[in-house]
Amino acid sequence: MIYWNSFADFLAMGGYGFYVWGSFGLTALIMAIEPIIVARNQKTTIARLKRQLRAESRADNRNTAE
Amino acid sequence: MKDRFNFYRFASPATFYPLAGALIPFFVAISVLFGLAGLYLGMLVAPTDFQQGEGYRIIFIHVPASWMSMFIYLVMAFWAAIGLAFNTRLSGMMAQALAPTGALMAFISLWTGALWGKPMWGAWWVWDARLTSELILLFLYIGYMALTAAIDDARRADKAGGLLLLVGVVNVPIIYFSVKWWNTLHQGSSVNLAKSSMAQTMLWGMLLMAMCFWMYSIAVALMRVRTIMLERERNTDWVKAVLEGEGK
Amino acid sequence: MLKIITAVIGRDLKLAMRRQADIVSAMFFFVIVVSLFPLGIGPEPDLLRKLAPGVLWVAALLATMLSLPRLFADDHRDGTLEQLALAPHPLGLVVTGKVIAHWLVSGLPLALIAPVLGIQFDLSSEALVVLTGAILLGTPALSGIGAIGAALTLGLRGGGVLLSLLVLPLYIPVLIFGAGAVDATVSGLGGEGHLSLLAALTFASLGFAPWASAAALKIALE
């Protein structure tokens, strides 16, 4: 069923290797990096919000103590 | 009455946040499965195209990316309409979460179009009606993102962005037809890429890849919308509960 | 209904007359941009004749953009806009008046000056007539669509640049049909088809854009 005779043939893409792999490569790169960036944003947002929350509750405690 | 109740329940960020979190791995898994199947069919099984040689295989990402870029814009406009009509909080967040992915899809479509155009037309860029419209679509995405980023107040950003999306969606067909007309008048460069006599395996490969891109977009948008929700609702009890549960 | 529109037009024109320098600068901007092109491209008449419609139209788009940020900003600053939004008559009518007034001080002068610039590009008299007609017909659409952008970016940092990002892609159909009308005349095909499409665009955007802008203004004023 596989159309290609050898792996080298597959890579060469009948002479269009540069264009085909250039397209697939960049797409794969984008689809790998985008989720990583989004996940990292999520992590930093959570960390920042937690810090704010802690700072707020500390301020609240001080206010009630006074 | 029950449906109504459910709709509002899931439209509330407090319920949607964990739901989205549970759905993301599911969408990622389907996306990977569709992607593997599509790549197997498209890259390994599908025969060569007798006119374009192996270069035609770019179609397996070019066409799905173009479809998604247009589809995501429509979905954003749909959310915008819901948001403006029913004043729901979630819809504006969804539209904003989708925008960067839509813009990336438009960019992928342009990039692969250029890499396809070079061997087929002999030029990286041709002012073909479809490529030109895709470029304009990318501009519309950038405009939307720039507008929502410039407005500090989240509610105003949602509404203003939503209105821009609705204006854009009315204009997209007008822009498309004017570009098409312009293209036929300045005759020439338009080459018909998608031939109707496509081999069955090619068509299936393309549809599977389109499903992969679709599921991917949903997964990334859900990830993004979760961050937006936390940011927007940081003063609510449910976000505080989520933050306390995190990392324990 | 007509009374509201004419009252707004009269008021905005009076205000514009107090700041004639703005109108004149926009016109000179148009003249200078158009005159720069032959310097960049070279003086061959054949080439210039071919480029003229596009160059004149792109310069016209940019020149109308210049005055757009002011469309609502002054009224917003002194609180007039909020009064108008609260008034019993629909805000869309007020915006219609403002759009027409904007066209009278920005689009109309461009149409009057364009034929003179067309001569620089060696256009035939027939093409000059079509050019003037196309700018007359197309610029109201530019003012209308621009009003939506101006309303959306009201009071934002860097509003002017943002405005052009939002509005210029939406101007593309006007550019295509406007320049196409002159192009078709130059190449002897006749520009009537383009002109009627341009008129359709203008009517559609004058009917639709003021209400969209009014909605955007209400969002901005909330």
As a whole number, the mean pLDDT across chain B is 86
Q: Is the pLDDT of residue B192 over 70?
A: no
Q: Is the pLDDT of residue B152 over 60?
A: yes
Are B220 and A34 within 8 A, CB to CB? yes
For chain B, list residues whose CB is within 8 angstroms of any CB belonging to chain C.
136, 139-140, 142-143, 146-147, 150-151, 155-156, 159-160, 163-164, 166-168, 170-171, 174-175, 178-179, 181-182, 185
Q: What is the model's pLDDT at position B198?
A: 63
Are A19 and B243 within 8 A, CB to CB? no
Alpha-carbon distance of A55 to A35, in angstroms, equals: 30
Are A19 and B219 within 8 A, CB to CB? no
Query: How many C-beta atoms surround the C-beta of residue B205 within 10 A?
Result: 26
Report yes or no: B56 and B208 within 8 Å, Cβ to Cβ: no
Q: What is the model's pLDDT at position C209?
A: 94
Q: What is the model's pLDDT at position B2?
A: 43
3-class SS of residue B53:
strand
Query: Measured between CB atoms, which of B146, B168, B171 is closest to C165?
Result: B146
Rounded to two decimals, the ipTM of the complex is 0.90
Chain B residues whose CB is inside 8 A of the C148 CB are: 163-164, 167
Query: Measured between CB atoms, which of B44, B111, B240 is closest to A26?
Result: B111
Q: What is the model's pLDDT at position C204?
A: 92
The CA distance from B156 to the nearest CA of chain C, in Å, is 6
Radius of gyration of chain A (CA): 26
Q: What is the model's pLDDT at position C214?
A: 93
Are C201 and B174 within 8 A, CB to CB? yes
Q: What is the model's pLDDT at position B240?
A: 84
Cα four-point dihedral sign C169, C107, C200, C123: negative
* Structure confidence by residue, pLDDT tens digits, B2-46: 444 455 556 688 888 889 999 999 999 999 999 999 999 888 888
Are A35 and B100 within 8 A, CB to CB? no
Q: What is the model's pLDDT at position B93?
A: 93
How far CA C90 is from CA of B167, B239, C1, C87, C145, in Å, comes to 20, 41, 9, 8, 19
Are B246 and A20 within 8 A, CB to CB? no
Q: List the pLDDT tens digit at each of the 222 positions of chain C.
A: 788 888 888 888 888 888 888 888 889 999 999 999 999 988 888 888 888 999 999 999 999 998 898 889 888 888 888 888 888 888 989 999 999 999 999 999 999 999 999 988 888 888 899 999 999 999 999 999 999 999 999 988 877 889 999 999 999 999 999 998 998 888 877 778 889 999 999 999 999 999 999 999 999 888
Chains that touch C (3 or more CB pairs under 8 A): B
Are B108 and A45 within 8 A, CB to CB? no
The pLDDT-based confidence of B188 (bands split at 50, 70, 90) is very low
Who's near C55: CB < 8 A, 6+ residues apart? C34, C37, C121
The CA distance from B223 to the nearest CA of chain A, in Å, is 7
The CA distance from A66 to the nearest CA of chain B, in Å, is 24
Picking from B132, B136, B142, B147 by the largest number of C CB atoms within 10 A of its own CB, the best residue to mutate is B147
Map out the domains of chain B as residue ranges: 20-50+59-230
Q: Is the pLDDT of residue B1 over 70?
A: no
Give the tokens for residue C103: 């066209």
Q: What is the model's pLDDT at position C11?
A: 87
Query: Measured between CB atoms, which of C157, C170, C173 is closest to B150?
Result: C157
Query: Measured between CB atoms, which of A4, A27, A46 is closest to B61?
Result: A27
Alpha-carbon distance of C202 to C191, in angstroms, equals: 16
Q: What SS3 string covers chain C?
A: CHHHHHHHHHHHHHHHHHCHHHHHHHHHHHHHHHHHHHHHHCCCHHHHHHHHHHHHHHHHHHHHHHHCCHHHHHHHHCCHHHHHHHCCCCHHHHHHHHHHHHHHHHHHHHHHHHHHHHHHCCCCHHHHHHHHHHHHHHHHHHHHHHHHHHHHCCCCCCHHHHHHHHHHHHHHHHHHHHHHHHHHHHCCCCCHHHHHHHHHHHHHHHHHHHHHHHHHHHHHHC
Chain A residues whose CB is inside 8 A of the B107 CB are: 30
Give the closest residue to B100 by CA, choosing from B153, B145, B66: B145
Report yes or no: B85 and A46 within 8 Å, Cβ to Cβ: no
Touch test C–B: 3 Cβ pairs or more under 8 Å: yes
Q: What is the model's pLDDT at position C192?
A: 83
Q: What SS3 string covers B72-90?
A: HHHHHHHHHHHHHHHCCHH
Query: How many C-beta atoms surround the C-beta of residue B155 within 10 A?
Result: 15
Give the closest residue to B28 by CA, choosing from B219, B167, B244: B219
Chain B residues whose CB is inside 8 A of the C152 CB are: 147, 160, 163-164
Picking from C176, C205, C218 by the largest number of B CB atoms within 10 A of its own CB, the best residue to mutate is C176
Report yes or no: B92 and B161 within 8 Å, Cβ to Cβ: yes
Q: Average pLDDT, stretch B94-115?
A: 94
The pLDDT-based confidence of B215 (bands split at 50, 70, 90) is very high
Q: What is the model's pLDDT at position B181?
A: 81
The DSSP call for residue C171 is G
Q: Average pLDDT, stretch B145-168?
A: 93
Size of interface A-B (CB pairs under 8 A): 94
Q: Is the pLDDT of residue B195 over 80?
A: no
| CB-based contact, B65 to chain A, within 8 Å | yes
Touch test C–A: 3 Cβ pairs or more under 8 Å: no
pLDDT more than 90, % of chain B: 48
Cα four-point dihedral sign B89, B91, B95, B98: positive
| CB-based contact, B216 to chain A, within 8 Å | yes
Q: Which residues pair with B49 in a beta bridge?
A: B53
